[in-house]
Amino acid sequence: MIDESTDVSVISTLMVYIRYVDSSGHVRSHFLSVEQLPGCDSEAIYGTVINCLLAKGLDPNVIALATDGASVMVGTKTGVAAKFKENMNPYMLSNHCLAHRLALASGNAADNVKYLLKFQEIVNAVFKFFHYSPKNLRNLNSIRETLQESRSVTLKQTFHTRWLSFHKSVASIISCLDSLLTCFQSLAATNVKAAGFVKQMACFKFLATAYFLKDALEILSKLCESLQKPNLIFAQVQQKLNSYIVALQGLKTNAGSGTAFQEFLRQLPSVNAPESGFSSFMSHQIKDTEHERKLFEATREEFIDKVILNISNRFPDSDLMVSFAIFEPSFMPDRVKQDH
């Protein structure tokens, strides 16, 4: 398993991991080495991997290679995997990292939902508002102490390339929502940015999206963790995907939504949008109209549909991979194990 990266000195490096079956039949995964790359083309990466394996006394005739989906890695003619098949093992299996595929499926789904792009902008703007201003942060912490909110959770920035990490960003926002709204409202009269945050966040659409995403991203994060277990085998992947897809589909309605979103609904005074256009939430007045609710529902449904579609496209059923279950020791009958 290999992944190219750049360190703080802007030098290209290659991280190399190995997976093997030990003498007792257990699958093991270990970090092997970090190698400096002489170049970022497939020839340089291929040569670096071969030299690394030989230096460790390992046979470079590997049976499988896992990488990200970059063309330099998986290109059918000149990619690193193609070079292994041409020079070492024509039957080698080449696989795009499962966790990386899931991150791309989730991030690309969010990119195609208009309000989720805006939502991410708001979350990052809130992070920067406090991260780059000690005065603003002191004000927020003072309010958190008054409201007896825990200060152990800090606001976090989100990055597009690591979209599943957005789960922690959303969770941190929710953990101090009362303090955030109180802080922004207290500064709104003298601070334009704070006034903007009040308008963007003190509304049903933003708050409902935050609680919904906490549930959805928790499911996706758990799926991501399960795909990175050291003893995972391909025969189990489709089964895991199907079970998590069912969980995601359940979030498309209020009735089937997760625990976080149910908590949000319980804090609202009315099941339906009030005629006044405003509701009380955590003692704050928020904009709550039928239009706001419909916009959220459209966002929720569109995101879930696109995530499921992207997962299906990036994880097509593979009879070949499932067939490899016959070589998995844990699937063997007890008598065969004892004879072995």
Q: Tens digits of per-residue pLDDT, 268-282?
A: 998 899 999 999 999
pLDDT digits (tens, 9 = 90+) for 282-295: 999 999 999 999 99
Residues 174 and 76 in one domain: no
> CA-to-CA distance for 85 and 268, rounded, in angstroms?
60
Read off the pLDDT band of 332 (50, 70, 90): low
Residues 197 and 231 in one domain: yes
Residues 30 and 151 in one domain: no
Residues 43 and 86 in one domain: yes
Read off the pLDDT band of 148 (50, 70, 90): confident
252 is a domain residue = yes
Count of domains for the chain: 2
What is the per-residue pLDDT for 10?
67
pLDDT at 141 over 70: yes
Mean of the per-residue pLDDT values of the chain: 87
pLDDT at 210 over 60: yes
Residues 33 and 126 in one domain: no
> CA-to-CA distance for 148 and 155, rounded, in angstroms?
17
Residues 239 and 107 in one domain: yes
Mean pLDDT (whole number) for 138-157 = 84
What is the per-residue pLDDT for 338?
55
pLDDT at 336 over 70: no
Residues 180 and 69 in one domain: no
Residue pair 204/278 in contact (Cβ under 8 Å)? The answer is no
The DSSP symbol for 203 reads B
CA dihedral 154, 160, 161, 162 (to 10 degrees): 30
Residues 146 and 240 in one domain: yes
Q: Percent of the chain at pLDDT above 70?
A: 89
- Is the pTM of the predicted complex or chain greater than 0.75? yes
What is the per-residue pLDDT for 163?
62
327 is a domain residue = no
Least confident among 89-93, 183-187, 224-228: 224-228
Residues 83 and 138 in one domain: no
Angle (CA) 259 261 263, round 5°: 70
Residues 91 and 126 in one domain: no
Least confident among 3-7, 78-82, 225-229, 242-246: 3-7
CB under 8 Å to 228, separation ≥6 — which residues? Answer: 98, 99
Q: What is the span of the domain harbouring residue 210?
A: 101-314
> CA-to-CA distance for 176 and 129, rounded, in angstroms?
15
More confident residue, 76 or 151: 76
